[in-house]
Amino acid sequence: GAGVSQTPSNKVTEKGKYVELRCDPISGHTALYWYRQSLGQGPEFLIYFQGTGAADDSGLPNDRFFAVRPEGSVSTLKIQRTERGDSAVYLCASSPRTSGRYNEQFFGPGTRLTVL
């Protein structure tokens, strides 16, 4: 079956512009996570959805970052007034809402954002 997909795979934008990054989770997965990863570092948590609602947005760095998941499947990460420091790979992961062992996160390939 299809895995987590993210579009675009690469995005180049200019400082100050607005960008949207899209994540299509695995069908039926209720949990969805956004992370960002800078070169040479591990992924850094941004926000986590359980269904349509943000269960934990403690990782969003400031109010320029916002994410939505209006129908409980596809999610969009929105970044306003982009800065060069926002350049990173943005990773999305999904997870089924089940107890016990089957709680691993399935990651997409990421969107590489470059802010010039």
Partner 1 sequence: DAKTTQPTSMDCAEGRAANLPCNHSTISGNEYVYWYRQIHSQGPQYIIHGLKNNETNEMASLIITEDRKSSTLILPHATLRDTAVYYCIVRVAGTNAGKSTFGDGTTLTVKP
Site residues (CB under 8 A) for partner 1? 4, 31, 33, 35, 40-45, 48, 55-56, 59, 91, 93, 95, 97-101, 103-110
Tokens describing residue 94:
């999904």
Give me the least distance between CB of 36 and partner 1, in Å please: 11
The residue among 66 and 107 lying less far from partner 1, judged by its C-beta, is 107
Query: Is 82:13 a contact under the CB 8 Å cutoff?
Result: yes
The residue among 61 and 109 lying less far from partner 1, judged by its C-beta, is 109
Give me the least distance between CB of 12 and partner 1, in Å please: 17
Query: Is 109:23 a contact under the CB 8 Å cutoff?
Result: no
The residue among 8 and 109 lying less far from partner 1, judged by its C-beta, is 109
Alpha-carbon distance of 2 to 75, in angstroms, equals 16
Cis peptide leading into residue 8 (ω within 30°)? yes
Give me the least distance between CB of 91 and partner 1, in Å please: 5
Give me the least distance between CB of 13 and partner 1, in Å please: 20
The helix/strand/coil state of 5 is: strand
The residue among 18 and 56 lying less far from partner 1, judged by its C-beta, is 56
Alpha-carbon distance of 3 to 94, in angstroms, equals 9
